[in-house]
Amino acid sequence: MDIIAMMPNSSRVPKKYLLTGGTGFLGTFLAKGLLEKGAHLYFLVRQKSGRDSRFYVQAQLKRVGLQSQFFSQVHIVSGDTTKQNCGIDREWFINHHSDINAIWHIAGLVDFNNRERLFLINTEGMRHIIELAKNLRAHIYYVSTAYAVGASRKRELFEDALKHSGTFRNSYEESKYEGERLLATQIASGDITATIFRPSILVGHSETGVTLSYTGYYVPLFFFATLRQQHPFITGLPFIIPYVRNATLNLIPIDHSVRLILALAVLPESNGKIFHIVHPQPPTVRYIFQESLAELGYRRIYFVPVPSWILHGINKVIRIFSYLFVRYGKRVRTQLSDYVAYLTDTRSFSTKNVRRLLGVAADVPPLNKTLLQRYIMYAVGHHFGRTKYHNLSFVL
């Protein structure tokens, strides 16, 4: 197999990409950046009709500010990453098998409980992407996650091939690990070329606050925002919040993550490398929630430092008792309990590979109070993306 022919062209940015996950949070912002650079994008979508799919793709791109003049560069491909060859029909292969420069594989499922579906999409989906890349002789740009490392106890996590840590905090991490392992094996064997990006927790645009996803950081915010809306008096009650001293929450604004990914992707030196797309100086968990809850109007918050094992123990007790409460139990489990593991993390992510190629351009502005306020204002103003809470409009 001619590996050189498969490598990204070092003299120009490839102009035709097949894109999975192109209507998701990162995918939409990334697509905007690629389209504005002149690329033609083939969005792989599970479609009911071509018109509906195109309308939805364009609507998502409009939400992140793409001008309609770029819509002529948008193409729709019917397919499904859970199927062989990603479900793409033979006619499309005949017409495009030689002109797709690279595959951007961004599609993935973020869920902490649905193990079977997680492995179908995040692991088997990768297997089918590899198969597709071989058939198209295309480079793969894969968006994994910084948390595919699982429950590794290393203080610093490096940008290298994952080694099985033995444990994972949830099935999401494990499924992403297995998907990345499949890709790493193929890279090592020389069968394909690829670049792997591992973003941490994505949050909205640093200048506008715009987000298309309310997972991660936004989930506990939603819990406390709706709690305040339904019971306004609660903001005056004392809240004791245990936290792990020195624990950080690695949030990175979507615009900076896209900026880093696109800057790295065009460099020939990025081929075969792994990059942490993370905040090099993440704020502490205490700072984030102290400022965020204050912005939501909670006036009597008391933070108490505890060892991580105590916090996990408290979480297990709360989770058990949550089943006694029909109305709030599920919300406690899915909006608070599932995320506790990420609130006790004292590890750091190395960005040596990113810095070696980008230098000072790898810097990300601090996540300060003003930025957190911007995110909260946008989330509350847009009801956390939920029409059910259209009246979530209390004054901040």
String of DSSP letters for 70-111: GGGGEEEEE--TTSGGGG--HHHHHHHTTT--EEEE------
Domain boundary among 199, 218, 240: 199
275 within domain boundaries: no
In order, the DSSP letters of 301-330 are EEEEE--HHHHHHHHHHHHHHHTT-TTTHH
Q: Is residue 354 part of a domain?
A: no
Residues 150, 155, 161, 164: what is their CA dihedral angle, to the nearest 10 degrees?
-40
**What gap in Å lies between CA 225 and CA 228, rounded to an integer?**
5
**Domain boundary at 199, 215, 239, which?**
199
pLDDT for res 161: 82
pLDDT of residue 337: 74
Q: Same domain, yes or no, for 195 and 211?
A: no
The C-alpha angle with vertex 383 and arms to 29 and 203, in degrees rounded to 5, equals 35
In a domain, 50, yes or no: yes
Q: Is 242 in the same domain as 162?
A: no
Tell me whether residue 93 is in a domain. yes
Q: How far is 363 from 351, CA to CA, in rounded Å? A: 10
Shared domain for 167 and 24, answered yes or no, is yes
Residue 216 lies in a domain: yes
Residue 45 in any domain: the answer is yes
What is the mean pLDDT of each successive set of 10 residues along the chain, which is 396 residues long? Answer: 38 76 97 97 81 90 97 96 94 88 96 92 98 96 95 88 80 95 94 97 98 93 91 92 95 98 97 97 96 95 94 84 70 73 93 97 95 97 78 48
On whether residue 257 sits in a domain, the answer given is no
101 and 220, same domain (yes or no): no
Residue 312 falls within a domain, yes or no?
Answer: yes
Compute the C-alpha angle 274/277/279, nearest 5°. Answer: 140
Domain range enclosing 323: 205-249+282-347+367-389
| Residues 225 and 339 grouped into a single domain | yes
Same domain, 335 and 230: yes
Q: Which two tokens stand for residue 121?
A: 């999409």
Same domain for 212 and 183: no
The answer on 152 and 87 residing in a single domain is yes
Are residue 179 and residue 320 in the same domain, yes or no? no
Residues 186 and 299 in one domain: no
Assign residue 160 the CATH number of its domain: 3.40.50.720
How many domains does the chain divide into?
Answer: 2
> Are residues 210 and 66 part of one domain?
no
**Final residue belonging to a domain, choices 199, 222, 238:** 199
Residue 318 has what pLDDT? Answer: 78
Contacts of 376 (CB under 8 A, 6+ apart): 221, 292, 295, 296, 396
The reply to whether 121 and 230 lie within a common domain is no
